[in-house]
Amino acid sequence: MKKTNEAARWWSEDRGFYMILLLCVLAVAVAAYVLFASPQTVEADPMDGYLYEADDSVSASEPLDRVPAMETEPAEDTDDSADAQAAEAAADTEQEKDEPAEQTAAAPTFTPPMDADVSHAFSGDTLEYNETTRDWRTHEGADYAGEEGDAVRAIADGTVLRVGDDTIYGKYVILSHTQDMNSLYAGLDNITVSEGDSVKGGDQLAELGSPMPLEQALGVHLHLAVTKEGDAVDPAGLF
């Protein structure tokens, strides 16, 4: 009777241990499945790649030139083979001379965005006091004062990269130009272009509207910012 009780107690204790071990194994398996089998999603920032960045939509890769296969000729035909190769090389040289040279993208021709003078100049690396934000910061653009409804025009040929409305620029348009240049127009209203549109220098993009929130204290004006290869440049120096 004593042996029976001891066996029952041993079985009860041992069974509890294995039950706990089984639950641990199941927990590890479920955690591994959730970690490795569940799809991982990363949401992209909708503004990423637009403000002050170059258009990378065009690939710079070029196809490799075709290399003619070399054929082994008998030793006695060495001179003939050399002559044939020299003639082929000369023909290729003449063909290259006849082909037009690859044209690089022409520099944009710029025109002022408004019939107005600059009211607040580009500051470069110099800090200025911002009456709206009440702090010191650089002014990476040029401002053109005007009245609501004044026409705002593209400063050069380009493509509409972005049309938006946010708490920094208000309503704005970004254009992409040749030679890795972008231009941003902020403080707009009644925007007449859409993303992907092609525009010519001097084409109307919008009208002046409420001042951009970041420069609210300056009143109604166009804030024009231009970048080349990602670096801010003085817009007024282009005209």
Span 107-122, pLDDT tens digits: 789 999 999 999 999 9
Query: The tokens of 149 are what?
Result: 């409804």
The model's confidence at residue 66, banded by pLDDT at 50, 70 and 90, is: very low
- Spell out the domain ranges in the chain: 1-32, 118-238
Q: Are the CB atoms for 199 and 157 separated by under 8 Å?
A: yes
Cβ burial 125-150 (10 Å sphere, 16+ → b, else e): eeeeebeeeeeeeebbbbbbbbeeeb
Report the distance separating Cα 88 and Cα 168, nearest Å.
Answer: 63
Report the distance separating Cα 117 and Cα 104, nearest Å.
Answer: 33
Top mean pLDDT of 23-27, 87-91, 220-224 is at 220-224
- pLDDT: which is higher, 211 or 89: 211
- Greatest alpha-carbon span in the chain: 110
Handedness of CA 47, 51, 54, 58 (dihedral sign): positive
Return the CATH number of 118-238, one of 2.40.30.30, 2.70.70.10, 2.40.370.10, 2.40.50.140.
2.70.70.10
Span 16-62, pLDDT tens digits: 666 777 777 777 777 766 666 555 544 443 344 334 333 344 333 33
Query: The tokens of 7 are what?
Result: 């066996």
